[in-house]
Amino acid sequence: MAEPQMTVTIVTPDGTSYDNEQASMFVAKTTNGEIGILPNHVPLIAALEIDEVRVKSGQDGEDEIAVNGGFVEFSNNVATIVADSAEQQSDIDVTRAENARTRAQQAIDHAHQEHDANELRRAEVALRRAINRINVASHNQNR
Ligand code: ATP
């Protein structure tokens, strides 16, 4: 008998970056910890951290997506993630993310010097985005 399936869609202001893909499981980091969702899971809505989302399809296939916060909603075997930005592993420009990491680290140093709490908060979030992209891009695709 065929395994039960669900679909996963990720939408961002730039459009749909992951479109209605069939999945047997997905794993995401919510503000309350990591969740693993299988088909027929009870409905849920949760806020996401800046972290990776892993979508498993079939036996071996797995997509890794760097997701920049947002929310996940799951019901009737449809998962929808709404985030400020999301990039699939193969779409991540690592050099750009490394440059963004360097800029964020410099901004953090500057914010400390100036005692600027707003700049510090913004720079820390930018740093998390950059590190998340670097981490997702560096994962072995077949792990
Ligand atoms: P940068 O300073 O490099 O623009 P950022 O964290 O400020 O990084 P965002 O505002 O989160 O960038 O994203 C703006 C757009 O650029 C989004 O569409 C996002 O998917 C894309 N993007 C950002 N960084 C990368 C990257 N390293 N590789 C691929 N796409 C990226």
In the predicted structure, residue 33 carries a pLDDT above the cut 90: yes
Rounded to the nearest angstrom, the distance between the alpha carbon of 96 and the centre of ligand 1 is 8
Banded pLDDT at 58 (limits 50, 70, 90): confident
SS (H, E, C) the chain: CCCCCEEEEEEECCEEEEEEEEECEEEEEECCEEEEECCCCCCEEEEECEEEEEEEECCCEEEEEEEECCEEEEECCEEEEECCCEEEHHHCCHHHHHHHHHHHHHHHHHHHHHCCHHHHHHHHHHHHHHHHHHHHHHCCCCC
Q: Whose CA is nearest to atom 2 of ligand 1?
A: 100
Give this prediction's pTM: 0.93
> Which domains are seen in the chain, by residue range?
6-89 (2.60.15.10), 92-141 (1.20.5)
Ligand 1 contacts CB of residue 102 (under 6 A): no
Banded pLDDT at 139 (limits 50, 70, 90): confident
Ligand 1 contacts CB of residue 87 (under 6 A): yes
* Atom from ligand 1 closest to the CA of residue 97: 27
Supply the pLDDT for residue 61.
87
